[in-house]
């Protein structure tokens, strides 16, 4: 088996893994299963990033998503104790309608993907280095970089204030 | 390696799966999880375009990075809002939230 | 662009706007002062309008007292006011009706300040439409004149006031849903450079454009003009409205519709007029006959007047549709005559209603015995409505029918036949309301005091004056209409 | 302005027509509360008018051509509406008649109306009437004539409905107005058609043009027929005749004024005014002849079945008007006008006499009056008999002469039926007038005591007696004047004919030849004429005799031959069911037919449609609000579904 | 070399945010003092944005463009923020302890929107829009004592993140077509590839995020609930300032296609009609005043879209004018609501009963504001509609304009119901007199005059908006 074929097989396994994770994230009614599924799917997506040539982003994916977001969700689950609450039955019409709508959208996007002529840029640079990313972050995307910190600040303050961890608790 | 189309289809499928989750989950946290899937779908798109079409490979990566950051912030805010709701109505079932209508 | 003269038209407009502002600054607890101030400003308007009317140079004709300034440069909107033979009578009519309307409401006690404020706003709009020669401003003033109707009816009105007010306001403003697109359409067709009526008129739009625009203008303004079958707001609204509002509304506002058709539709779209004139004539004829017949079955005095307005405005429409000098002469004259006459009718009914608190014909009866003067006003107005000679509307009807029979023989003859029915229903009302045995219920009611009789006397005087000396008005009207019709046929 | 004072003729014409107007205005505005002053103003005005009219008559007696004054009143585009005076023999004659009758009636009314609360109003309306009528009479153009014609209608409405608190009076006023208006529509349309086709409504020009065949025959016939509608309305011709008997609801002097001598005569006057014009259209003339005949016969029969004093005269007025129309339509210009003149005199006489009786006995039923001793009022009784004789056409009263003239004209018609109808009419006229007279003279069952003039019944003090006396004379003097006129007027036939026909160069005389071929009617004493004379007189006498047989003689049952024919009596008494037909038509076709159909349509379909649209709008608001269900995921579904469909749409 | 002077308004608001961040850290702050500070800073912010309104230039490696278009909207944003903060004197809807955070989030949100209108780079735009959205989610969730409205925050959030996911997906497709994130490249390239499905779908999906902000049908679904459920001041902020930013972005994004895609325009026409009709129809049956205004805002998004879809400079200018008009009119209505419901409750329409006696000035302000929204002259709302329709008719959308006018008539119905309540109804039980302090009185008079003045003398403002529209890339 050539490297290429192995890579190919690994790719499809990755696909299977990702979608299995996604399915677990979406369908079961146990919220903890969902979180695990999400972690799985996110890790799979990180794998895609590897295939797409960016080790850096794959790493970030694992760090931010699997590391931070999933943990946050688990915390929320623990705080809201949903496991103690009754699990409602599935409403079939709702699921069916949701499935139809999602499928239509999926089909439409498929159509878009295959009907569009994707043309690569005329000149393509091959500079995948992290240095370039860092450089760009501090030049062209400087503003965004600043703003995203503000976003995080707002998120933190907002989460604290909204969730009720105000001075009441601290004082 | 695999063509652009493959990645785009995977992205679309992931996005649609997330959409399905948003539409049918009753658990608000479940909905939030589904939204994360949708964002990941978009991210795969960016990375794929970055890999196959874009003139500068750095741009797509940077965008993906920022979207991840935003997703983190979003999750934090969303979870805090869900907690507010939980405190008041002791449920995170979205169907409990239908007082306002008409 | 002559600017040397005193801007009398703007001054007339300002008399109402200043009046409105002044009223707003009067404290709430001085209703008497509000009335006096209102009367003062209405009087100023009347004097200015009379001055403008009688200093209009018939020999010279055309536009006079022109005021024209660029208002919004990028769209080509002008502050363009002028007087010609068509709007001069309308201006006079408005000022007379406003003045008498203020006097009629002298006994008002409920929320006096607001009433007169709204009324002045309404009349400001009416003046504005009549003097403006710029499509933008015509539309603006048109809408300004409509929306105060709602509070005026809904607060101070009578039968089913909220329903009536809402219906009337919405229905009339629905008309502007066609007018504004039509105006803009013409503006675009004219190269989107000017809203000046006369410059647009010179553009010579293509027949297709003219047809579309004319139809929209006709239907839009036709609602206000009470064109059948768009008329049903009229009875309902009039029944609900308080006296002075009915007076202004039936007397002046309905004319706005016909005026709009004439000023906008016919001036800008002569070929559209040609194309749709058959329809116009048909609807007008139906309106004349139909209004009279329906009026025959009404038991509410104001309903009767409402339907008589439909019938009489049909005459205006018929006159306009003939596209002849005398048809349009008659139509404009009829607008004036009907305005004064309806104002008088409503004002007479208003007094009766104020005192008896009913306007149902079967409950009234024998009023002539207890209040002969009040009844006389109604009866005189009814005769004016029937078209008795030496009342202003006689001449108007004469001219319209002559032209109508010429242009549309069958419809014209049918319309003339309608006169019998209109006589029948007017006399029926007069008989049932004022004649017959003295009604004990109303015995204690005093006759009109002088201060309330004054406005009605003024109106009677106007009816008779222009009935006896139609030349005074007709010369003014035709100084504009003759060249206008010449340009239509050219 | 100065022209007025330079020209006495013009001044007189202007004064005659405008003074009553001024008097009306003065009374209505200033002297409403002063009855005496109002009456004097009005009478003063009408006296001046009468004097002016007489002055004009004398001055212009021998003027060769008609005198015409025209001032432009209104110039609307090409249409000129003049205002002015046309003074020719016909208008002068009519002016004098109107002024004279108005004058006499107003004097008479001083007595008749005394004590009425609406005294001032009464005189105001009288002045209005006099103004309208006189201005109409001397109109130089048809438009002016039409304008005043309408005003006459207004005045009659007001006067008929004078006792407006009486339901029937106001009803009658309304009926009069609406029915005459119905005819006026035809008149109006005729004028418009003529105006559009011919372009000029000056009476002289119209007449000239018709004579010179300058108007196309179709136009002429059409407009003539339509204009005849006006005559039918005003002069109560079939089928618009029923308003006139009802109009007797007004005060009796009003009946005398309006419905005998002047207003109803307006139609006939108008007919004769444009007689040359009419003669241009044989079709129109024939139709007019037929309508006149029908009217005359129908109303005569109606008069035979009523017991109301005033209604008898009202029907007789209608029948005499029919007679005049027949005369004119048969081409007898002079005969028609002459009958109009004499009729004005004796009919006013009859009404005023009746007024005295009604005033005295407070009843309209002549049997009742007779029973209460009506014949004791000697002067009125004599005068009334004179009037009745004149009406029946007995020599030497005025009616004899004019009726002869009319019958003479009818005799010239190729078709004898018209003459026979005329003779039948004469018979019936004599019958019903003397039926009335005999009832009053020879009441069945003797005379009861009456508390009026001669009885000393309680409630009538001496003072009131005196008062009565003054009033009585106030009424009696005009009656006697009229009686005198009735006796004398007949003999003025030839001077009048000379005045009317001989002088007017373009007058009717020559035209009559063309129109009806009745040369002899005005000219001569041919054998035919004698035959007519004899048969007419015998008809009149026969009618009187018949009435004597049934009502007059001692053994008379006073039941009349109609008693044996109840169906027919019913037919006559119910006016040939014309009113019933009209009422039925109004009720079914107008009120519960068109009107209620339109009203229901208006409420349900048109207004209901609008309301329906509004309700639909609100309802659809409610409907769409289900989209906003409150369920987050359904809402999202809507949104996402829409996005998905949009994306799909872009693929297509 | 960066010209920092161009960035002064944004910096100012950053400073303001920092001030309140600091305040939020301290244990106890007097709400009155916070209010005074906030008002002063917001006023200065307005002043600063006006002073820097004529600046032009590029910043941050051409990712940030300061031109008349952006500056006009910045002034509008600053104005809206100032007004909202002005009416926070009785901030009863928010817990007193959280006032500092409230002002902080308000400042951040305004800052984000200012960046949004200036950003000419897709990623910057996305991040800015997310920043402003997050602030709003939090602001909406902050309502105190709002048990019946507690679901508002989560609904807003869920719909918002879904829409934003669509948006980023759309941006990814755009990125795939254009291969650049600069708006200038997008504008250059997109019209040439608009026939490709990915291009137009990407554009539409990207637009959906802005439509969401603008509450255009079918992205409107959050609006009624949020308007009703958020604190009055927050609702006002969403209804005024936030709308301005959304309008600016929609104008910019719709312009991308250069009017080349007929299909896209058809879609926009459909959306505009649906939005107007839906908003107006459903508004008819509302009882809650804020909810009613939410539906009316949906309808107004449709009207504004009419101007935008004309794809002409006059169209964009008219949309800008309309936005200005909408800001003034909506604020006038909300100010009255906040004044009457001083305890921060929601106002039912029937609670307006007898307002003309309780406070004639507020009643008049409300009436003019509503008439303005209904598009009745001589208010600014009419002139706005007039300009919008004029622009649309220049492109020949006659039917669209007629539908718009019919909708305006329908809308009049429910506005009249509100006016009826204020002017006609007698209160069932006596509502307390409305206390109107002198500042509010001055502001009402200014608003009334502004509504009439802008409506009657639109010339200079039209010129301004046209200049702004010209400066669009």
> Residue by residue, what is the 3-state secondary structure of D484-549?
HHHHHHHHHHHHHHHHHHHCCCCCHHHHHHHHHCCHHHHHCCCHHHHHHHHHHHHHHHHHHHHHHH
Six-digit token string for C67: 């005021």
D567 and D609 both lie in a single domain: no
Contact residues on chain E for B45, CB-CB shorter than 8 A: 169, 172-173, 175-176
Residue E178's pLDDT is 86
Taking an 8 Å cut-off on Cβ atoms, the answer to whether A140 and E97 are in contact is: no
Nearest CA in chain B to A106: B16
Flag whether pLDDT at E261 surpasses 90: no
Which element (helix H / strand E) includes E89? none
Cα B82 to Cα B60: distance, rounded to the nearest angstrom: 32
Comparing CB atoms, the residue among D625, D639, D647 nearest residue E218 is D639
Comparing CB atoms, the residue among A98, A102, A109 nearest residue D647 is A109
- Provide the residue range defining the domain that includes D299: 2-573
Cα C188 to Cα B86, C182, E254, E391, distances in angstroms: 58, 10, 23, 9
Flag whether pLDDT at E300 surpasses 90: yes
Cα D417 to Cα D293: distance, rounded to the nearest angstrom: 10
Residue D468's pLDDT is 57
Average pLDDT over residues C374-382: 88
Residue C337's pLDDT is 92
Distance, in angstroms, between A141 CA and closest chain E CA?
A: 8
| Beta strands C77-83; C64-72: pairing state | antiparallel
Flag whether pLDDT at E310 surpasses 80: yes
Residue D153's pLDDT is 87
E122 contacts E175 by C-beta, under 8 angstroms: yes
E78 contacts E85 by C-beta, under 8 angstroms: no
Among residues D510, D541, D573, the one where a domain terminates is D573
pTM of the model: 0.89
Six-digit token string for E455: 């409506």
- Which of D76, D196, D233, D598 to probe the C interface (max C CBs under 10 A)? D76
D619 and D497 both lie in a single domain: no
B84 reaches E (C-beta below 8 A): yes
Block residue for tokens 């014309």: D578
Taking an 8 Å cut-off on Cβ atoms, the answer to whether C170 and E409 are in contact is: yes
Comparing CB atoms, the residue among E158, E163, E197 nearest residue D632 is E158
Nearest CA in chain B to E155: B97
Number of C-alpha atoms within 13 angstroms, CB side, residue D19? Answer: 21
Which subunits have 3 or more CB–CB pairs within 8 Å of chain D? A, B, C, E
Residue C77, strand partner residues: C72
How do residues E76-106 score in pLDDT, each as one tens digit?
999 999 999 988 887 888 878 888 888 999 9
Sign of the CA dihedral running D315, D321, D325, D328? positive
Residue A83's pLDDT is 57
Which element (helix H / strand E) includes C71? strand C64-72
Tell me, yes or no, whether chains C and A touch by having 3 or more C-beta pairs under 8 A: no
Cα D259 to Cα D267: distance, rounded to the nearest angstrom: 11
Which subunits have 3 or more CB–CB pairs within 8 Å of chain A? B, D, E
How do residues D412-460 score in pLDDT, each as one tens digit?
777 778 888 888 888 888 888 888 888 877 776 666 555 444 443 333 3
Cα E283 to Cα E224: distance, rounded to the nearest angstrom: 10
Contact residues on chain A for D637, CB-CB shorter than 8 A: 97-98, 101
Comparing CB atoms, the residue among C155, C177, C192 nearest residue E405 is C177
Residue C218's pLDDT is 92
CB neighbour class for A1 (10 Å; exposed up to 12, middle 13-18, buried from 19): exposed
Cα C83 to Cα D596: distance, rounded to the nearest angstrom: 45
- Which of B18, B23, B24 to probe the D interface (max D CBs under 10 A)? B23
A88 reaches B (C-beta below 8 A): yes
Q: What are phi and psi of E66, to 5 degrees?
A: -105, 110
Q: Which residue has the higher pLDDT, D390 or A168?
A: D390
Other Cβ atoms within 10 Å of E428 Cβ, number: 10
Cα C31 to Cα C108: distance, rounded to the nearest angstrom: 9
Cα E178 to Cα E261: distance, rounded to the nearest angstrom: 16
D304 and D215 both lie in a single domain: yes
Is A120 a member of any domain? no
Is C245 a member of any domain? yes
Residue D625's pLDDT is 85
Comparing CB atoms, the residue among A117, A142, A144 nearest residue E127 is A144
Average pLDDT across chain C, whole number = 88
D423 and D541 both lie in a single domain: yes
Cα C228 to Cα E253: distance, rounded to the nearest angstrom: 48
Nearest CA in chain A to B63: A141
Residue D365, strand partner residues: D308
B22 contacts B34 by C-beta, under 8 angstroms: yes
How do residues E116-136 score in pLDDT, each as one tens digit?
998 888 889 999 999 999 999
Q: What are phi and psi of E54, to 5 degrees?
A: -100, 15
Q: How many domains does chain D have?
A: 2
- Provide the residue range defining the domain that includes A140: 3-114+126-170
Is A160 a member of any domain? yes
B48 contacts B7 by C-beta, under 8 angstroms: yes
**Segments of chain D scoring below 50 in pLDDT:** 451-467, 503-524
Cα E250 to Cα E240: distance, rounded to the nearest angstrom: 15
How do residues A37-71 score in pLDDT, each as one tens digit?
888 998 898 888 888 888 888 888 888 888 888 88
Taking an 8 Å cut-off on Cβ atoms, the answer to whether D196 and C406 are in contact is: yes
Nearest-CA neighbor of C421 among C312, C251, C295?
C295
Cα D572 to Cα D579: distance, rounded to the nearest angstrom: 12
Taking an 8 Å cut-off on Cβ atoms, the answer to whether D630 and B19 are in contact is: no
How do residues E27-41 score in pLDDT, each as one tens digit?
777 888 888 889 999
Cα E81 to Cα D538: distance, rounded to the nearest angstrom: 113
Q: How many domains does chain C have?
A: 1
Residues of A with CB under 8 A from a CB of D: 94, 97-98, 101-102, 104-105, 107-109, 111-112, 115
D152 contacts D20 by C-beta, under 8 angstroms: no
Residue D457's pLDDT is 39
Q: CATH code at A91?
A: 1.20.120.1200
D507 and D555 both lie in a single domain: yes
Is C2 a member of any domain? no
DSSP 3-state assignment of D172? helix
Average pLDDT across chain A, whole number = 82
Q: How many domains does chain A have?
A: 1
B67 reaches E (C-beta below 8 A): yes
CA dihedral D410, D412, D414, D418 (to 10 degrees): 10
Taking an 8 Å cut-off on Cβ atoms, the answer to whether C329 and D193 are in contact is: no
Is C3 a member of any domain? no
For chain B, the residue count is: 102
Nearest-CA neighbor of E70 among E259, E268, E252, E311?
E252
- Provide the residue range defining the domain that includes C220: 8-484
Distance from the first to the final alpha carbon of chain A: 65
Q: Which residue has the higher pLDDT, E196 or A85?
A: E196
E20 contacts E26 by C-beta, under 8 angstroms: no
Cα D66 to Cα D621: distance, rounded to the nearest angstrom: 78
Q: Which residue has the higher pLDDT, E161 or D441?
A: E161
Cα D216 to Cα D194, D213, D281, distances in angstroms: 10, 7, 10
Cα E292 to Cα B83: distance, rounded to the nearest angstrom: 29
Residue A86's pLDDT is 62
Q: Which domains does chain B have, with CATH numbers?
A: 4-100 (1.10.287.3510)
Residue C284's pLDDT is 93
Average pLDDT across chain E, whole number = 88
Is A119 a member of any domain? no
DSSP 3-state assignment of E217? coil
Residue E46's pLDDT is 92
Q: Lowest mean pLDDT of D71-80, E161-170, E240-249, name the range.
A: D71-80
Three state DSSP letters for D366-402: HHHHHHCCHHHCHHHHHHHHHHHHHHHCCCCCHHHHH
pLDDT in tens, chain B (102 residues): 578 888 899 999 999 999 999 988 888 888 888 998 999 999 999 988 888 888 888 888 889 989 988 998 998 898 888 888 887 777 777 777 777 776
Tell me, yes or no, whether chains C and B touch by having 3 or more C-beta pairs under 8 A: no
Q: Which residue has the higher pLDDT, D215 or C397?
A: C397
Distance, in angstroms, between E273 CA and closest chain A CA?
A: 23
D461 and D603 both lie in a single domain: no
Taking an 8 Å cut-off on Cβ atoms, the answer to whether E463 and C154 are in contact is: no
C vs D, Cβ pairs < 8 A, gives 129
Residue D524's pLDDT is 47
Nearest-CA neighbor of D333 among D392, D271, D290, D263?
D271
Distance, in angstroms, between A166 CA and closest chain B CA?
A: 12
Cα C46 to Cα E280: distance, rounded to the nearest angstrom: 42
Six-digit token string for C38: 């209102």
Residue D95's pLDDT is 87
DSSP 3-state assignment of A128? coil
Contact residues on chain C for E406, CB-CB shorter than 8 A: 174, 177
CB neighbour class for E8 (10 Å; exposed up to 12, middle 13-18, buried from 19): middle
Flag whether pLDDT at A1 surpasses 70: no
Is A47 a member of any domain? yes
């Amino acid at each position: 088996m050539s490297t290429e074929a192995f890579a190919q097989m690994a790719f499809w396994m990755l696909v299977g893994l990702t979608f299995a994770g996604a399915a677990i994230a979406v369908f079961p009614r146990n919220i903890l299963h969902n979180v695990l599924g999400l972690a799985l799917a996110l890790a799979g997506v990180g794998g895609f990033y590897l295939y797409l040539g960016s080790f850096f982003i794959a790493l970030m994916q694992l760090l931010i998503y699997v590391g931070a977001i999933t943990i946050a969700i688990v915390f929320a689950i623990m705080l809201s104790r949903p496991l103690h609450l009754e699990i409602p039955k599935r409403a079939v019409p709702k699921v069916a309608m949701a499935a139809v709508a999602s499928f239509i959208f999926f089909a439409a996007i498929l159509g878009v993907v295959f009907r569009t002529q994707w043309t690569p840029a005329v000149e393509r640079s091959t500079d995948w280095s992290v240095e370039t990313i860092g450089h760009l972050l501090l030049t062209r995307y400087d503003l965004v970089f600043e703003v995203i910190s503000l976003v995080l600040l707002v998120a933190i303050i907002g989460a604290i204030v909204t969730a009720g961890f105000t001075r009441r608790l601290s004082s | 390696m695999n063509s652009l189309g493959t990645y785009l289809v995977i992205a679309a499928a992931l996005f649609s799966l997330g959409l399905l989750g948003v539409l049918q989950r009753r658990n608000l946290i479940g909905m939030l999880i589904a939204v994360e899937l949708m964002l990941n779908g978009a991210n795969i798109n960016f990375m794929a375009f970055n890999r196959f079409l874009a003139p500068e490979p750095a741009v797509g990566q940077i965008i993906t990075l920022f979207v991840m950051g935003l997703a983190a912030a979003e999750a934090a805010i969303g979870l805090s809002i869900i907690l507010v709701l939980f405190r008041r109505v002791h449920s995170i079932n979205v169907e409990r939230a239908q007082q306002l209508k008409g | 662009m002559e600017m040397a003269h005193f801007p009398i038209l703007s001054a007339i407009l300002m008399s109402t706007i200043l009046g409105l502002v002044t009223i707003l600054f009067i404290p709430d607890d001085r209703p008497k002062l509000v009335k006096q101030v209102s009367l003062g400003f209405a009087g100023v308007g009347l004097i200015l309008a009379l001055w403008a009317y009688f200093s209009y140079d018939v020999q010279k004709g055309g536009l006079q007292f022109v005021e024209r300034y660029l208002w919004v440069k990028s769209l080509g909107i002008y502050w363009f006011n002028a007087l010609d033979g068509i709007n001069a009578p309308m201006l006079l009519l408005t000022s007379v009706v406003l003045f008498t309307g203020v006097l009629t409401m002298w006994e008002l006690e409920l929320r006096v300040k607001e009433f007169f404020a709204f009324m002045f706003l309404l009349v400001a709009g009416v003046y504005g439409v009549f003097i403006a020669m710029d499509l933008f401003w015509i539309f603006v003033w048109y809408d300004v004149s409509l929306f105060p109707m709602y509070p005026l009816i809904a607060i101070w009105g009578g039968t089913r006031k909220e329903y009536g007010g809402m219906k009337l306001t919405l229905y009339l403003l629905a008309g502007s849903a066609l007018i504004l697109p039509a105006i803009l359409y013409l503006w675009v067709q004219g190269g989107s450079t000017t809203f000046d009526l006369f410059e647009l008129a010179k553009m010579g739009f293509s027949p297709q454009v003219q047809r579309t625009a004319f139809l929209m203008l006709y239907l839009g303004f036709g609602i206000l003009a009470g064109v059948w079958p768009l008329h049903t707001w009229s009875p309902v609204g009039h029944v609900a409205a308080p006296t002075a509002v009915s007076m202004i509304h039936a007397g002046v506002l309905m004319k706005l519709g016909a005026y709009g058709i004439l000023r906008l539709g016919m001036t800008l779209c002569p070929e559209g007029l040609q194309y749709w004139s058959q329809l116009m004539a048909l609807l007008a004829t139906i309106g004349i006959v139909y209004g009279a017949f329906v009026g025959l079955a009404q038991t509410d005095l104001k309903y009767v007047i409402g339907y008589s307005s439909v019938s009489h405005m049909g005459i205006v429409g018929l006159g306009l549709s003939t596209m002849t000098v005398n048809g349009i002469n008659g139509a404009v004259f009829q607008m004036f005559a009907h305005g004064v006459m309806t104002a008088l009718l409503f004002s007479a009914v208003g007094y009766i209603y104020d005192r008896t608190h009913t306007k149902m014909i079967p409950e009234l009866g024998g009023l002539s015995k207890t209040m002969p003067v009040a009844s006389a006003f109604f009866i005189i107005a009814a005769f004016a409505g029937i078209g008795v000679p030496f009342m202003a509307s006689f001449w108007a009807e004469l001219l319209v029918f002559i032209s109508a029979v010429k242009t549309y023989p069958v419809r014209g003859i049918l319309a003339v036949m309608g006169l019998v029915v209109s006589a029948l229903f007017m006399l029926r009302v007069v008989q049932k309301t004022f004649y017959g045995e003295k009604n004990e219920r109303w015995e204690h009611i005093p006759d009109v005091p002088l201060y309330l009789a004054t406005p009605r006397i003024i109106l009677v005087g106007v009816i008779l004056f222009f009935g006896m000396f139609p030349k005074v008005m007709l010369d003014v009207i035709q100084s504009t209409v003759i060249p206008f019709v010449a340009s239509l046929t050219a | 302005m100065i022209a007025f004072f330079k020209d006495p003729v013009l001044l007189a014409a202007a004064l005659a027509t405008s003074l009553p107007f001024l008097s009306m205005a003065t009374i209505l505005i200033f002297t409403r509360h002063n009855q005496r002053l109002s009456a004097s103003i009005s009478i003063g005005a009408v006296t001046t008018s009468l004097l002016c009219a007489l002055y004009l008559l004398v001055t212009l007696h021998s003027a060769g051509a008609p005198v015409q004054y025209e001032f432009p009143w209104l110039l609307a585009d090409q249409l000129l509406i003049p205002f002015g005076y046309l003074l020719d023999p016909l208008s002068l004659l009519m002016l004098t008649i109107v002024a004279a009758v108005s004058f006499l009636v107003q004097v008479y009314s001083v007595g008749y109306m005394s004590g009425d609360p609406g005294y001032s109003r009464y005189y105001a309306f009288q002045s209005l009437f006099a103004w309208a009528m006189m201005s109409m009479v001397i109109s130089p153009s048809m438009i002016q004539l039409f304008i005043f014609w309408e005003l006459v209608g207004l005045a009659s409405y007001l006067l008929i409905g004078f006792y407006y608190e009486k339901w029937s009076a106001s009803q009658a006023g309304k009926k009069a107005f609406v029915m005459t208006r119905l005819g006026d529509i035809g008149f109006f349309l005729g004028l418009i058609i003529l105006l559009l086709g011919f372009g000029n409504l000056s009476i002289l020009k119209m007449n000239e043009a018709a004579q010179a065949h300058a108007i196309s025959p179709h136009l002429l016939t059409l407009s003539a027929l339509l204009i005849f509608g006006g005559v039918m309305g005003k002069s109560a011709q079939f089928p618009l005749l029923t308003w006139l008997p009802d109009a007797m609801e007004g005060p009796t002097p009003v009946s005398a004024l309006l419905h005998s001598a002047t207003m109803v005569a307006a139609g006939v006057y108008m007919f004769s005014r444009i007689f040359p014009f009419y003669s241009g259209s044989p079709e129109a003339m024939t139709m007019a002849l037929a309508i006149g005949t029908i009217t005359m016969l129908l109303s005569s029969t109606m008069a035979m079945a009523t017991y109301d004093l005033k209604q008898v005269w009202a029907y007789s007025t209608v029948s005499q008007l029919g007679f005049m129309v027949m005369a004119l339509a048969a081409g007898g210009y002079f005969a028609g006008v002459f009958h109009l003149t004499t009729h004005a005199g004796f009919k006013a006489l009859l009404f005023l006499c009746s007024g005295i009786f009604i005033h005295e006995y407070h009843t309209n039923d002549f049997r009742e009056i007779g029973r209460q001793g009506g014949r004791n009022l000697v002067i009125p009784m004599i005068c009334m008999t004179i009037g009745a004789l004149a009406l029946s056409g007995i020599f030497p009263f005025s009616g004899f002469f004019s009726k002869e003239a009319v019958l003479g004209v009818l005799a010239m018609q190729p078709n004898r039926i018209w003459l026979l109808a005329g003779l039948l009419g004469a018979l019936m006229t004599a019958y019903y007038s003397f039926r009335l007279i005999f009832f009053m003279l020879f009441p069945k069952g003797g005379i009861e005591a009456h508390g009026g003039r001669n009885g000393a019944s309680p409630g009538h003090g001496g003072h009131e007696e005196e008062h009565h006396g003054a009033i009585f004379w106030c009424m009696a003097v005009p009656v006697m004047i009229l009686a005198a006129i009735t006796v004398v007027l007949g003999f003025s036939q030839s001077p009048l004919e000379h005045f009317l026909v001989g002088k007017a160069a373009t007058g009717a005389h020559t035209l009559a030849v063309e129109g009806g071929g009745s040369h002899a009617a005005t000219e001569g004493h041919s054998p035919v004429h004698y035959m007519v004379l004899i048969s007419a007189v015998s008809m009149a006498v026969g009618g009187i005799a018949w009435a004597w047989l049934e009502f007059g003689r001692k053994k008379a049952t006073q039941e009349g031959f109609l008693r044996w024919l109840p169906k027919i009596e019913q037919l006559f008494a119910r006016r040939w069911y014309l009113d019933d037909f009209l009422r039925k038509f109004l009720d079914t076709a107008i009120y519960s037919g068109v009107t209620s159909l339109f009203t229901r349509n208006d409420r349900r379909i048109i207004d209901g449609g609008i309301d329906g649209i509004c309700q639909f709008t609100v309802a659809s608001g409610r409907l769409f609000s289900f989209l906003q269900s409150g369920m987050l995921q359904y809402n999202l579904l809507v949104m996402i579904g829409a996005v998905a469909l949009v994306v799909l749409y872009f693929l297509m | 070399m960066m010209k920092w002077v161009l960035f002064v308004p944004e910096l100012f608001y950053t400073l303001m945010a920092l001030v309140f961040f600091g305040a939020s850290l301290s244990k106890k702050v007097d709400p009155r003092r916070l209010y005074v500070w906030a008002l002063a800073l917001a006023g200065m912010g307005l002043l600063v944005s006006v002073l820097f309104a004529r600046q032009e230039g590029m910043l941050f490696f051409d990712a940030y463009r300061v031109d008349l278009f952006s500056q006009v909207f910045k002034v509008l944003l600053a104005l809206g923020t100032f007004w909202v903060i002005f009416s926070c004197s009785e901030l009863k809807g928010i817990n007193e302890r959280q006032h500092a955070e409230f002002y902080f989030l308000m400042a951040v949100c305004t800052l984000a929107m200012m960046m949004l209108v200036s950003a000419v780079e897709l990623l910057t735009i996305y991040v800015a829009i997310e920043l402003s959205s997050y602030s709003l989610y939090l602001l909406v969730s902050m309502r105190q004592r709002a048990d019946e409205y507690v679901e508002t925050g989560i609904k807003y959030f869920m719909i918002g993140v879904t829409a934003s996911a669509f948006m980023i997906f759309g941006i990814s497709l755009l990125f795939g077509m254009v291969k650049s994130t600069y708006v200038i490249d997008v504008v250059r390239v997109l019209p040439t590839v608009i026939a490709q499905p990915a291009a137009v779908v990407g554009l539409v999906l990207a637009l959906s995020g802005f439509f969401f902000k603008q509450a255009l049908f079918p992205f409107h679904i959050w609006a009624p609930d949020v308007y009703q459920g958020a604190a009055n001041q927050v609702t006002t902020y969403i209804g005024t300032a936030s709308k301005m930013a959304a309008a600016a972005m929609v104008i910019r994004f719709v312009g991308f296609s250069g009017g080349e895609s007929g299909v896209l325009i058809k879609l926009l026409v459909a959306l505009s009609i649906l939005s107007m009709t839906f908003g107006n129809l459903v508004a008819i049956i509302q009882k809650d005043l804020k909810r009613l205004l939410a539906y009316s805002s949906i309808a107004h998004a449709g009207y504004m879209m009419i101007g935008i879809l004309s794809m002409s400079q006059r169209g964009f200018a008219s949309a800008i004018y309309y936005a200005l008009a909408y800001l003034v009119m909506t604020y006038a209505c909300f100010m009255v609501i906040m004044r009457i419901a001083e305890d921060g409750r929601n106002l039912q329409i029937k609670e307006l009963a007898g307002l003309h006696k309780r406070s004639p000035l507020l009643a008049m302000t409300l009436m003019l504001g509503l008439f303005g929204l209904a598009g009745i002259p001589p208010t600014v709302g009419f002139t706005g509609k007039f300009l919008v329709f004029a622009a649309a008719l220049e492109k020949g959308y006659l039917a669209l304009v007629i539908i718009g006018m019919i909708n305006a008539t329908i809308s009049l119905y429910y506005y009249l119901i509100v006016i009826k309540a204020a002017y006609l109804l007698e209160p069932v039980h006596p509502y307390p007199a409305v206390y109107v302090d002198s500042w509010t009185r001055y502001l009402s008079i200014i608003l009334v005059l502004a509504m009439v003045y802008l409506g009657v003398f639109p010339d200079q403002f039209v010129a301004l908006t046209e200049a702004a529209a010209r400066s669009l890339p």
